Amino acid sequence: LMFVFFQVKSEGPKLVPFFKATCVYFVLWLPTSSPSWFSALIKCLPIFCLWVFLLAHGINFLVSHRSASRILAGLIFSAVGDAFLIWQEQGYFIHGLLMFAITHILYSSAFGMKPLDLKAGLFMGLVCSSCYAFLYSYLSGPFTYLVAVYIALIGFMGWRAVAGMQLCNDLWTWTKLSACIGAMLFMVSDLTIALNKFCFPVPYSRFIIMATYYAAQMLIALSAVESRDEEDFRKRS
C-alpha cells in the first residue's frame, strides 16, 4: 500500500499536462467534418504529453529499460496514426491503421512473453475471433484481410498485457495491472471505431472512442515506469 501511495504521489504531477491537454480536446470538440493541422495538433497533444511524461524519467532510464523505450516508440507511432485518422475521409484511414498496427507490435514487445499464460491467450483468441466473425459480413475489399491482421495484432497485445497481470502471486505489480486495463480500453476504443465505420452508427461513438483511447494510452505509459519508481522507493524507504 505504501508503494502504491508513492506511485500516485510521484507520477501524478508528471501527468498534469496530459490531463490538461485531454480537457482541451474535449472542451474544443473540433468538428471532424473539416480536418486541419490545428485539429490534428489538438488531437495529438495528449499523446505528446505522454512522450514528455516518459522522457521526464530520463534518457538513461529509457535506454536501459527496453520496455519503456518501446512504449515511447509506440506512442510516437500512435501520434502519427492519430494525425492520419484526422484525414480518414480523404483516404488516410489505412495509413492510420498501419501506424496503430506498428504501435501494437511495439507494445506487445514491451510487455514481453513471460509468463506465457496460454489460457489468457486462448480466451483473447476467442474474443478476437468472435469480433472478426461479426465484422466480416460488413467488410469488403482490402479491409477484409487488413482488419483481420489488425485484430490479430491488438489481440496479441491484449494477451501479453493480461498475461503479465499475475493477481494470485507475488509477481503482481500496479504497473502490470495498469498495462492490462490500458490494453482492454484500447480494444474497446478500436472495436467502437470498427463498428461505427463498417457496421452501424454507434451513439456517442467519438466520445467513447477518444475517452477510452486516451485512458488506455495513459495507463500503458504508466506501466513503463515501474523499474525506476521501485528504485526510488527503495532509496527513500
How many structural domains comprise the chain? Answer: 1
Task: Tell me the percentage of the chain whose pLDDT exceeds 90.
Answer: 82
Domain boundaries, position 135: 1-235
Query: Which cell numbers in the block locate residue 100?
Result: 496503430
pLDDT at residue 234 in the model: 44
- Contacts of residue 54, defined as CB under 8 A and 6 or more positions apart, other chains included, come to 62, 68, 71, 72, 75, 221, 224, 225
Residue 20 — pLDDT band, cuts 50, 70, 90? Answer: very high
Please state the separation of Cα 225 from the chain's center in Å.
15
Tell whether the model's pLDDT for residue 150 goes beyond 80. Answer: yes
Task: Tell me the percentage of the chain whose pLDDT exceeds 70.
Answer: 88
Output the CA–CA distances (angstroms, integers) from residue 148 to 94, 133, 152, in the order listed: 13, 10, 6
Q: Do 126 and 190 touch, CB atoms closer than 8 A?
A: no
- Kindly report the pTM of this predicted structure: 0.92
Report the pLDDT averaged over residues 92-119: 96
Digit-coded pLDDT (tens) for 47-104:
999 999 999 999 999 999 999 999 999 999 999 999 999 999 999 999 999 999 999 9
Mean pLDDT lowest for which of 7-11, 50-54, 180-184, 217-221? Answer: 7-11
Q: Which of 27, 1, 7 is nearest to 175 (CA)?
A: 7
Residue 230 — pLDDT band, cuts 50, 70, 90? Answer: very low
Residue 169 — pLDDT band, cuts 50, 70, 90? Answer: low
Report the pLDDT averaged over residues 143-167: 94
pLDDT at residue 229 in the model: 47
How many other C-beta atoms lie within 10 A of the C-beta of residue 126?
A: 11
pLDDT at residue 174 in the model: 80
Average confidence score pLDDT of the chain: 91
pLDDT at residue 200 in the model: 97
Longest dimension (CA), the chain: 59
